[in-house]
């Protein structure tokens, strides 16, 4: 039986639905990245978890930022941005980039030797230097689609994870639990 999407009912958002939605989204564990740009010539960044790979060929990613943020404005002006994948040792940088209303200049966190056009967080697990290819306005956010121009990957390291409104680290795979929950590897 085919669904007729033209007759789909869209519920009117309510405060309860909004808070339930926010709570539900906090249950999704995600990696933490810092979207970087330059603002007034200085490195600037915003911590986000709304990041995804779009395509391997050509390498393309997307990030979603509040449309009214300084980061969104800086990316629009420059036409480019960076994404640094944060490791478990980047808690201070992640908190700095996620503090509402605070200045998010990154001088103390950036790799001063980076040759990327976008600022890279020092010691990041990976850094993607991107050119904006599309921007899409959705509700109060802008989705930036970026073509990856350059990639830097660190050797080793553990990811920083965001779950239930807190930064966390993954527990190491424990072989003694393998019978119940096998350790997965690539």
Which pLDDT tens digit goes with each residue over 17-57?
A: 778 888 888 888 899 999 999 999 999 999 998 999 999 99
CATH number at residue 136: 2.30.110.10
Diameter of the chain measured on Cα atoms: 59
Q: How far is CA 100 from CA 8, 51, 66, 103, 113, in A?
A: 36, 19, 11, 9, 29
Q: Would 179 be classed as within a structural domain?
A: no
- Size of the chain in residues: 186
Residue among 143, 145, 83 at smallest CA distance from 116? 83
pLDDT of residue 1: 46
pTM for this entry: 0.84
Torsions phi, psi of 104, nearest 5? -120, 35
Inform me whether the pLDDT recorded for 182 exceeds 70.
no
Q: Would 21 be classed as within a structural domain?
A: no
Q: Would 3 be classed as within a structural domain?
A: no
Q: Would 123 be classed as within a structural domain?
A: yes
The three-state secondary structure class of 32 is coil
Average pLDDT score over the chain: 87
Q: Would 18 be classed as within a structural domain?
A: no
* Model pLDDT for residues 57-107, shown as the tens digit of each residue: 999 999 999 999 999 999 999 999 999 999 999 999 999 999 988 999 999
- Show the beta-strand stretches assigned E in the chain: 30-31, 33-39, 42-48, 51-56, 59-66, 80-85, 126-138, 141-153, 160-163, 166-169
* Model pLDDT for residues 124-153, shown as the tens digit of each residue: 999 999 999 999 999 999 999 999 999 999
The three-state secondary structure class of 93 is helix
Please name the residues in contact with 71: beta carbons below 8 A apart, sequence gap of 6 or more: 35, 37, 44, 45, 46, 65, 104
Q: Would 12 be classed as within a structural domain?
A: no
pLDDT of residue 20: 85
The domain tally of the chain equals: 1
Inform me whether the pLDDT recorded for 162 exceeds 60.
yes
Per-residue pLDDT band at 185 (split at 50, 70, 90) = low
Q: Would 178 be classed as within a structural domain?
A: no
Please name the residues in contact with 55: beta carbons below 8 A apart, sequence gap of 6 or more: none
Inform me whether the pLDDT recorded for 179 exceeds 60.
no
Q: Would 98 be classed as within a structural domain?
A: yes
Domain with 91, as residue range(s), is: 31-169
Per-residue pLDDT band at 154 (split at 50, 70, 90) = very high
Contact status, residue 84 vs residue 124, Cβ threshold 8 Å: yes
Q: How far is CA 158 from CA 8, 47, 142, 175, in A?
A: 43, 17, 29, 18
């Amino acid at each position: 039986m085919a669904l007729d999407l033209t007759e789909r009912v869209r519920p009117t958002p309510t405060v309860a639905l909004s808070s339930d939605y926010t709570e539900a989204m906090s249950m999704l564990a995600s990696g933490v990245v810092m979207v970087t740009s330059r603002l007034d010539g200085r490195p600037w960044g915003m911590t986000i978890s709304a990041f995804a790979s779009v395509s391997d060929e050509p390498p393309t990613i997307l990030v979603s930022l509040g449309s009214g943020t300084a980061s969104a404005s800086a990316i629009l002006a420059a036409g480019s941005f960076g994404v640094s994948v944060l490791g478990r040792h980047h808690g201070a940088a992640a908190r700095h980039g996620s503090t509402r209303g605070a200045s998010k200049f990154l001088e103390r966190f950036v790799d001063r030797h980076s040759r990327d056009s976008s600022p890279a967080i020092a010691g990041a697990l990976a850094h993607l230097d991107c050119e904006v290819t599309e921007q899409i306005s959705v509700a109060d956010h802008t989705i930036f689609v970026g073509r990856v121009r350059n990639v830097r990957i660190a050797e080793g390291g553990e990811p920083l994870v965001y779950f239930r409104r807190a930064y966390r680290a993954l527990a190491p795979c424990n072989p003694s639990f393998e019978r119940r929950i096998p350790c997965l590897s690539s």
